[in-house]
Amino acid sequence: MAWFNRQKPGVEAPPDEGGRKVRTEGLWEKCGHCDQIIWRKTLEEAMQVCPKCEYHFRIDARTRLALLFDNGEYEEHDEKLGSTDPLKFVDSKPYAERLAAMRRATALPDALISASGTMNGRRVNICAMELKFIGGSMGAVMGEQITRAIERSARERVPLVIVSASGGARMQEGAVSLMQLAKISAALMKLDEAKVPYISVMTDPTTGGVTASFAMLGDLNIAEPGALIGFAGPRVIEQTIRQKLPEGFQTSEFLLQHGFLDAVVKRSDLKEFLCRAFDLLMN
């Protein structure tokens, strides 16, 4: 489980996209864990999971939704919402420019797709986060999209799935981002009272304010194998305690062992797991 500490020279992706896919040639992918060279077509058929070591490659929000919904079909909600840069934040470049560049690169308005469709015929709302959009970070847009999805689930009595892949709250929106934790958690209180099931699916990575709010508030909390899941990031913890972290710390399996996950579910089993769970919890 040493993937997380592994440095990865020669990665083509920009640093803050955090993809572990090492590209060699167009038709091949190299597994970031076992170094196996895999036909891209084989990888696709295996839902982007290494056939040799079962390492789960990171996948984008569209791929995720296509894997979960029947026939890969879904409708999107609140897809026009955009951030207006409340802080007028500037770091190495203005946040407004960063947002514009990200929108062009991902063809998404922000770091989440809110979708509805059917899974084995049952209507389900799924929110999927896009890690490539500023590290999947949560600002006012994601906060509002998720809150509306929760409210939609409560109103229509349609179960909810949130697939997390995020470094946490979005620094560039400051305390406005922070308050989205409270806003979403309060909406989940209402969904809880409405007794409509919500399953949180944590994927690599899920950290910070996302974990400290809706990701840990599922009626069921589940995760893909080998995902990094935690409140504080490993580097922050290492700097604080000034020692190396134990092997396997903050992985899905670690959280399962410590009682914070209901199950670790392989990507190939995820859809069936969700459908069975909703069947057992609802109607």
Q: What residues make contact with another protein under the rule CB under 8 A?
A: 79-87, 89-92, 103, 108-110, 139-141, 143-144, 147, 169-171, 173-183, 185-190, 192-193, 208-209, 211-217, 230-232, 236-237, 239-241, 245-246, 249-250, 258-260
Nearest to 271 by CA among 73, 120, 162, 128: 120
Q: How many Cα atoms within 13 Å fall on the side-chain side of residue 256?
A: 16
Amino acid at 104: R
Binding track, positions 114-153, relative to Zn ion; x by CB under 5 A: ----------------------------------------
| Candidate ranges 6-14, 47-55, 69-77, 187-195; the one touching Zn ion (CB under 5 A) | 47-55
* Residue number with CB closer to another protein (116 or 213): 213
Neighbouring residues of 61: CB distance < 8 A, sequence distance ≥ 6: 108, 112, 113, 128, 129, 130, 163, 165
Q: Say whether residue 57 binds Zn ion (CB under 5 A).
A: no
Return the residue of 22, 43, 49, 50 that touches Zn ion, per CB under 5 A.
50
Question: Bridge partners of 122?
Answer: 119
Residue 53 touches which of Zn ion, another protein, none (Cβ within 5-8 Å per kind):
Zn ion
Task: Sketch the per residue contact string, 12 through 41, with Zn ion: x for CB under 5 A, - otherwise.
Answer: -------------------x-xx-x-----
Inter-residue contact 91 to 172 (CB < 8 Å): yes
What is the C-alpha R_g of the chain?
Answer: 18
3 state SS of 262: coil
Whole-number minimum distance, CB 5 to Zn ion, in Å?
17
Residue 37 forms beta bridges with which residues? 30
Q: Which residues bind Zn ion (CB under 5 A)?
A: 31, 33-34, 36, 50, 52-53, 55
